[in-house]
Structure 1
Amino acid sequence: MTEEEAVQIAEYVAAACPAQKFGEYTPDVWGEILKPYAVDEARAAVIAVARRQPWVSPAEIVTEIRDRRAERIALAHVVYDGNPLETGAESAASVRALITAAADGRTPPQSIRTALGTADRPALPAGTQPTGRAAAALAGVGKAVPRIREGVVNPRAVPCRSCPALPGTSCTTRGRRRQDVHPSRLEDARRAAAGLPPIDPADEQREIERRRAASAAALATQPAPTFEDAT
């Protein structure tokens, strides 16, 4: 908040609370106290406090701003699973940026089920990038949705066929987050890094059935074990 904006807030409070007294240096002091906050946030806080009581102090404005920011963070259910290509410092910066975006209101409210992904929400086709809240949350803080880089295998850059994990999120098993990723997701990431199309689930199932049939046929041709074989 600038000095001019601090004067505007002081005048705003004077208009909302006509019985409240202001001195010559009141705007200067208020400007120092409210400097870390945006003028729009302060103006909204003044209205909220003035609706409850006839006096408005800068401390009450700060408390109101912090409460609203904390509320927006809680409603956004910020989730960031990290990127294997990031350093620890970069990952921490990404988390801080996401939290700041939520506090500023640039990340819309969402349920924890939406943030984490659920069994009743199917994964996107391989190679599809998330849209809506997921994309807005990352784009709003200058972080692009994880994408596949040529020659780099990043399993979290693709959705998982074995669980509802979307790009940028971890795989889950029975609702619990996994430390690793499902083998099918790793294979899809390897194929994507090599410029190959994702595996068709139907083709994969046919290949599994073919291998099972071949194994069964091989076992059927083996002679039955005898007593001498056992000894």
Structure 2
Amino acid sequence: MTPEEAILIAKYVASACPQQRFNEHTPDVWGDILAPYSVTDARAAVVAVAARQPFVSPAEIVTEIKARRAERIALANVVYDGDHTETGAESATAIRQILRAAGDGLLGPTSITNALGAGDRLALPPGADHGPYEGRAAAARAAIGKMPSTRDATKDPRGRACRRCGAAPGSSCTTSGQRRRDVHPVRLEDTQRAAAGLPLLDHDQEQARIKAASAAALDLNPVDQEQEAKAS
């Protein structure tokens, strides 16, 4: 927020709260406090606060802005799988940029399922691909950078689909619809076997074999079990 915009906000509050006292220094102080935030968010916050009480302080405006930004981020259901070529600092920077864009309203509300299937697309509200919103969305993409969707399936488990939960390549595994921090063991095992040039295991067939062997063992009489033990 610029000093000129801070003056506008102070005047806006004075109009909304005619009993509230101001002086010539008020816009300067409010400008210092509200500097990190946009005049649009501040104006909306003033309306929300003034609707429930007769006076509005800059601290209450900041609290309202933070609540609205947190709400946008929560609704956006941001998913960032990262990139194994990134450093920790690069991943942290990318995540901060994505969260900032979500808080600014550049990422529309979406679901975890849609976000996971989006790959390198940013989820936008219906109709947001047209009109003036398109320029802002493009700016967000440029600032955030491309989310990785193409990975080396012999090194990165997320480079292949998960046979356990059906997660697509480039997406995280999920359990009961919730994104996992790690991948399912079968996905990691498939990656390791692919890196070693080994065929993937048919786990359904393996489980069936184990069950059949267990059932056969239960059917053996004590003499057969003793003979089986000696033979092994």
For structure 1, which runs of at least 5 residues remain unmatched after alignment?
Answer: 118-122, 191-207, 209-229
Q: Note if 1:42 corresponds to 2:42.
A: yes
Aligned-CA RMSD value: 3.9
Contact 1:45 1:61 in 2 (8 A): yes
Identity %: 54
SS at match of 2:144: coil
Q: Note if 1:164 corresponds to 2:166.
A: yes
Could you tell me which residue of structure 1 aligns to residue 187 of structure 2?
182
Could you tell me which residue of structure 1 aligns to residue 77 of structure 2?
77
User: TM-score, normalization: structure 2?
Assistant: 0.62
Q: How many residues align?
A: 182
Q: Note if 1:143 corresponds to 2:133.
A: no
CA distance in 2, matches of 1:15, 1:4: 17
Q: Note if 1:95 corresponds to 2:104.
A: no
For structure 2, which runs of at least 5 residues remain unmatched after alignment?
Answer: 125-136, 196-201, 203-230
Contact 1:17 1:55 in 2 (8 A): yes
CA distance in 2, matches of 1:173, 1:42: 39
Distance 1:40 1:140, change over 3 A: farther
Q: Note if 1:64 corresponds to 2:69.
A: no
Q: Note if 1:104 corresponds to 2:104.
A: yes
Contact 2:149 2:171 in 1 (8 A): no
Which deviates the most, 86-95 or 139-148? 139-148
Could you tell me which residue of structure 2 aligns to residue 193 of structure 1?
none
CA distance in 1, matches of 2:169, 2:16: 48
What is the Cα deviation at residue 111 of structure 1? 2.5
CA distance in 1, matches of 2:187, 2:19: 66
1:54 partner letter: P
2:123 partner letter: R
Contact 1:106 1:140 in 2 (8 A): no
User: TM-score, normalization: structure 1?
Assistant: 0.62
1:114 partner letter: N
2:56 partner letter: V
Q: Deviations 1:12-65 (Å, cap 9, x if unpaired)?
A: 111222222211111111111111111111111111111112211111111111
What is the Cα deviation at residue 112 of structure 1? 3.2
SS at match of 1:133: coil
CA distance in 1, matches of 2:75, 2:21: 37
What is the Cα deviation at residue 172 of structure 1? 4.8
